[in-house]
């Protein structure tokens, strides 16, 4: 594939990486602007004021969960308990507007064979949410969080994996085209715990997801996978932060996206910090983008900050390429028409990622959704 | 009997210094059942002819005509040409990540035959062709040309030719980069297709090596964008003995 550099890729020099503010109260944050590093790629004017932290809900999301043995789900009309502060006004604003927390618990020592599906359905209102996924000790599960319909939605997900626990969380953003969805997905890993976090962003006018990983004890493993497709006018942003603060932890980040159409915009920022005490860290991150047609913009910024040399490995890569004419010619020279050839190449681009995600239930859905979104234009 | 007719074909490419003429009037007729060797030194325009016939967008046809059984090939898109019965084995087949050989071949065959092949027959057909070319069956699940050696790529090209069974096959330096064993296997594959008598072959090569295995009926010497000499197999012997210089100065 011809690699075209779409945007400058830079290693940002070390800076003070502790978020300046951590709070559950939106009033503790100044209103962000596009001059702030965290929002430099974000279309502030299209966030429907969610970044101001004081927008009131006009409705709610319909939440449904299938019954799976070993898992329990409840919506508690209380916000009690400890919770670490959020790092921006949007997430804190969402917290301040809700009066109930949805929580899914995977019970200790339970190895779920059936996938838990949490569907979150919007109905054109402004809504906020907090979903907790608690994986107790030595439990394992696959959870799909399925976002559909349309909404102006700020909803955070806190994923807590206790010692020895293991979870795959797939967050599907399969919104209608008018949705705005802003979220922090915070993963906390106990000793020898592992999490695979998958963000699949296909729909929505503006989607901005901030997955972060915090290691609470040594031996944690995090895999962060992303698959995104932005059509004309869509903004799909993923901003990751992996905080290696404990020894002998691993992280692996793979994000792949395709852009198609005028003003399609994707953003991937991968911040990985290896703190001085995080010896034995092994981390790698890669982002690949495929620009299908002109007028799109893919921003891709890996940041790797290393404060100790006593690590196993650390690396990153970023490529942005255009549809390769030689691939198209090759396929066409075998009788395959141009539309079909483009579909083959695009499907191929995502296919190995679906394998890595390893949740077969979503495969056909993702394939079909992408092809439907191509809308016969390709 | 299928016939590919090329008449007065002129082709140019766009370079940094403006358009550059590569083909300067090519006349060539290839019929089903015939094997034509097109030989010439590097840079003579052999590959340009191959790509122009297949319809690569990089090459602009400035004059002449190409017809297949009377149909205007130059009016067709790349995939229409393939479906009409033209096949090009590439010198450097590209990788297509994420697309398995088996998926690719099935898609191609479905397009060319106009309907999906019967699954059971298809698997058998594929297995047999792969075995004939000494291709490991597991290759079917590998991505198209990804991580393939030069020899594996060329064998896979000939595999496609066998399965597609084209009216006219243009083989662009299929022999380059092959060791003796691979050359023999690939040549046998070409001969199997030719033996059916339904396919005309235009074998483009720099060296005479492959002609020990694939016997041409006609040999054309290509130089500076046109055919400068034509003859039978003896012409290849002449090139083997005396090189291209004699035609260059002619």
Query: Where are the domains positioned within chain B?
Result: 3-96+166-248
Q: How high is the pLDDT of residue A16?
A: 56
Q: Which CATH class is domain B3-96+166-248?
A: alpha beta
Choose from B86, B108, B157 for mutation: most chain A CBs within 10 A: B108
- Which pTM was predicted? 0.81
Residues of A with CB below 8 A from B82's CB?
Answer: 332-336
Asked if B40 and B28 count as a contact pair (C-beta separation under 8 A), the reply is no
Residues of A with CB below 8 A from B52's CB?
Answer: none
Give domain status of residue A195, yes or no: yes
Asked if B11 and B24 count as a contact pair (C-beta separation under 8 A), the reply is no
Paired with A155 in beta bridges are A129
Distance CA A268, CA A288 (A): 9
By residue range, what is the domain housing residue A54?
26-374
Q: How high is the pLDDT of residue A74?
A: 96
Distance CA B65, CA A219 (A): 69
> Is B54's Cβ below 8 Å from some Cβ in A?
yes
> Is A352's Cβ below 8 Å from some Cβ in B?
yes
**Is there a contact between A336 and B79 if contact means CB atoms under 8 Å apart?**
yes
**Is there a contact between B90 and A330 if contact means CB atoms under 8 Å apart?**
yes
A350 to chain B: closest CA residue: B98
> Is B38's Cβ below 8 Å from some Cβ in A?
no
Give domain status of residue A17, yes or no: no
Q: Which of B95, B98, B111 sits opposite A335 (nearest CB)?
A: B111
Q: How high is the pLDDT of residue A151?
A: 97
Choose from A335, A338, A354 for mutation: most chain B CBs within 10 A: A335
Strand pairing class (A116-135; A62-65): antiparallel
Distance CA A188, CA B189 (A): 59
| Alpha carbon distance, N-terminus to C-terminus of chain B | 35
Domains in chain A, number: 1
**Is there a contact between A330 and B98 if contact means CB atoms under 8 Å apart?**
no
Asked if A189 and A163 count as a contact pair (C-beta separation under 8 A), the reply is no
Q: How high is the pLDDT of residue B47?
A: 95
Q: Which residues of chain A have pLDDT under 70?
A: 1-19, 375-378
Residues of A with CB below 8 A from B111's CB?
Answer: 334-337, 340
Provide the ipTM: 0.96
Residues of B with CB below 8 A from A324's CB?
Answer: 94
How close, in Å, is residue A350 to chain B by CA atoms? 7
**Distance, CA of B226 to chain centre:** 18
- Taking alpha carbons only, the member of A174, A130, A171, A126 closest to residue A153 is A126
**Is there a contact between A338 and B79 if contact means CB atoms under 8 Å apart?**
yes
**Tens digit of pLDDT at every position of chain B (250 positions):** 899 999 999 999 998 999 999 999 999 999 999 999 999 998 999 999 999 999 999 999 999 999 999 999 999 999 999 999 999 999 999 999 889 999 999 999 999 999 999 999 999 999 999 999 999 999 999 999 999 999 999 999 999 999 999 999 999 999 998 999 999 999 999 999 999 999 999 999 998 999 999 999 999 999 999 999 999 999 999 998 988 888 876 5
């Amino acid at each position: 594939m011809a690699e075209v550099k779409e945007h400058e890729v830079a290693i940002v020099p070390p800076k003070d990486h502790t978020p300046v503010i951590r709070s559950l109260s939106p009033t503790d944050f100044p209103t962000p602007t596009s001059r702030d590093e965290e929002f430099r790629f974000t279309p502030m004017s299209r966030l429907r004021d969610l970044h101001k932290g004081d927008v009131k809900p006009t409705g709610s999301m319909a939440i449904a969960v299938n019954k799976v043995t070993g898992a329990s789900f409840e919506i508690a009309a209380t916000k009690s308990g400890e919770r670490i502060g959020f790092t921006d006004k949007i997430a804190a604003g969402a917290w301040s507007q809700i009066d109930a927390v949805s929580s899914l618990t995977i019970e200790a020592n339970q190895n779920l064979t059936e996938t838990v599906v949490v569907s979150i359905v919007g109905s054109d209102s402004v809504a906020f949410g907090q979903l907790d996924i608690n994986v107790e000790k030595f439990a394992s599960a696959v959870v799909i969080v399925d976002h559909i319909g349309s909404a102006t939605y700020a909803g955070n997900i806190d994923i807590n994996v206790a010692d020895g626990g293991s979870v795959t969380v797939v967050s599907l953003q399969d919104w209608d085209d008018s949705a705005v969805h802003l979220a922090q997905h915070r993963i906390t890993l106990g000793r020898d715990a592992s999490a695979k976090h998958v963000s699949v962003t296909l729909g929505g006018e503006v989607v901005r997801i901030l997955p972060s990983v915090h290691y609470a004890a040594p031996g944690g493993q995090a895999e962060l996978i992303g698959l995104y497709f932005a059509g004309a006018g869509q903004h799909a942003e993923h901003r990751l932060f992996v905080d290696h603060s404990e020894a002998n932890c691993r992280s692996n980040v793979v994000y792949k996206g395709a852009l198609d159409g005028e003003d399609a915009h994707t953003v991937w920022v991968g911040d990985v910090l290896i703190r001085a005490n995080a010896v034995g860290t092994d981390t790698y991150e890669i982002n690949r983008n495929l620009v299908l047609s002109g007028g799109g913009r893919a921003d891709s910024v890996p940041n790797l900050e290393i404060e100790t040399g006593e690590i196993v490995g650390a690396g990153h890569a970023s490529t942005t390429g255009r549809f390769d004419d030689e691939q198209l010619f090759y396929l066409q020279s075998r009788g395959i028409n141009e539309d079909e050839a483009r579909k083959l190449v695009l499907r191929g681009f995502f296919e190995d990622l679906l394998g890595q995600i390893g949740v077969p239930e979503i495969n056909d859905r993702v394939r079909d959704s992408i092809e439907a979104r191509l809308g016969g234009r390709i | 009997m299928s016939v590919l007719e090329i008449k007065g074909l002129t082709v140019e490419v766009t370079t940094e210094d403006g358009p550059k003429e590569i083909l300067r009037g090519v006349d060539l007729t290839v019929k089903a059942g015939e094997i034509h060797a097109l030989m010439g030194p590097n840079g003579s325009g052999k590959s340009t002819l191959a790509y122009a016939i297949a319809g690569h967008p990089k090459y602009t046809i400035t004059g002449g005509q190409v017809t297949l059984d009377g149909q205007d090939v130059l009016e067709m898109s790349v995939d229409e040409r393939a479906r009409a019965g033209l096949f090009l084995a590439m010198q450097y087949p590209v990788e297509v990540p994420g697309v398995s050989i088996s998926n690719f071949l099935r898609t191609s065959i479905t397009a060319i035959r106009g309907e999906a092949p019967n699954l059971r027959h298809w698997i058998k057909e594929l297995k047999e062709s792969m075995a004939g070319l000494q291709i490991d069956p597991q290759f079917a699940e590998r991505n198209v040309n990804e991580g393939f050696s030069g020899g594996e790529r060329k064998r896979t090209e000939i595999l496609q030719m066998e399965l597609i069974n084209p009216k006219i096959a243009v083989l662009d330096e299929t022999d380059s980069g092959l060791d003796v064993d691979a050359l023999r296997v690939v040549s046998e594959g070409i001969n199997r297709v030719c033996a059916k008598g339904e396919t005309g072959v235009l074998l483009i090569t720099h060296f005479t090596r492959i002609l020990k295995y694939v016997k041409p009926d006609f040999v054309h010497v290509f130089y500076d964008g046109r055919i400068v000499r034509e003859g039978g197999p003896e012409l290849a012997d002449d090139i083997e003995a005396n090189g291209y210089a004699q035609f260059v100065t002619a």
